[in-house]
């Protein structure tokens, strides 16, 4: 048995949830659980996906939004138990798998062409 299979065997216990497919440039909303003391509530984070990184249960994705003129980025592990739901709001047309150039864009330039469904 190879190294990769052995690591996979360990990762097997991590549950990978099924979410709709999304890629860099898409606008998505992540609904995640947030704990305050003993209470649990849901919070939404809507933004543009900058990248999807990694594979299997350890994969992550980065989303960015502008909150009050300040850019906010969050990295979520795909298999995080705190993620409740992911919905795809817009499918963007970008030429790259990782759109880090998007961070420097402001105002009218910070627009991504939307794919018509």
Partner 1 sequence: MSGILGKKIGMTSLYDEKGKNIPCTVIEAGPCVVTQIRTKEKDGYEAVQLAYDDKKEKRTTKALKGHFEKAGTTPKRYIAEFTRFEDKKEFGDIVTVEVFSEGEYVDVSGISKGKGFQGVVKRHGFAGVNDATHGQHNRMRAPGSIGASSYPSRVFKGMRMAGRTGGKKVKVLNLQVLKVIPEKNLLVVKGSVPGPNNSYVKIERWS
Q: Would you tell me which residues interact with partner 1 (CB under 8 A)? A: 1, 3, 6-7, 9-11, 13-14, 57-58, 77, 79-82
Work out the end-to-end distance of the chain between its first and last CA atoms, rounded to an integer number of angstroms.
45
Measured from the CB atom, the residue of 1 and 70 that comes closer to partner 1 is 1
Measured from the CB atom, the residue of 29 and 58 that comes closer to partner 1 is 58
Closest distance of CB 93 from partner 1, Å: 33
What DSSP letter does each residue of 39-100 carry, written as one string?
Answer: EEEEEEEEEEEEEEE--GGG-EEEEEEEETTEEEEEEEETT-TTEEEEEEEE-B--S-SS-G
Closest distance of CB 78 from partner 1, Å: 12
CB atoms within 10 A of CB 36: 7
Measured from the CB atom, the residue of 73 and 105 that comes closer to partner 1 is 73
Closest distance of CB 59 from partner 1, Å: 11
Which residue in the block uniquely carries the two structure tokens 């900058």? 50
Measured from the CB atom, the residue of 13 and 18 that comes closer to partner 1 is 13
């Amino acid at each position: 048995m190879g190294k990769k299979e052995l690591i996979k065997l360990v990762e097997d216990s991590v549950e990978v949830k099924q979410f709709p497919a999304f890629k860099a440039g898409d606008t998505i909303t992540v609904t995640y659980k947030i704990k305050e003391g003993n209470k649990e509530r849901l919070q939404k984070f809507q933004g543009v996906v900058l990248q999807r990184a990694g594979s299997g249960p350890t994969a992550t994705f980065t989303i960015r939004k502008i909150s009050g003129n300040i850019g906010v980025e969050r990295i979520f592990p795909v298999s995080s138990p705190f993620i409740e739901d992911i919905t795809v709001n817009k499918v963007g047309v970008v030429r790259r798998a990782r759109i880090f150039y998007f961070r420097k864009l402001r105002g009218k330039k910070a627009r991504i062409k939307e794919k018509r469904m």
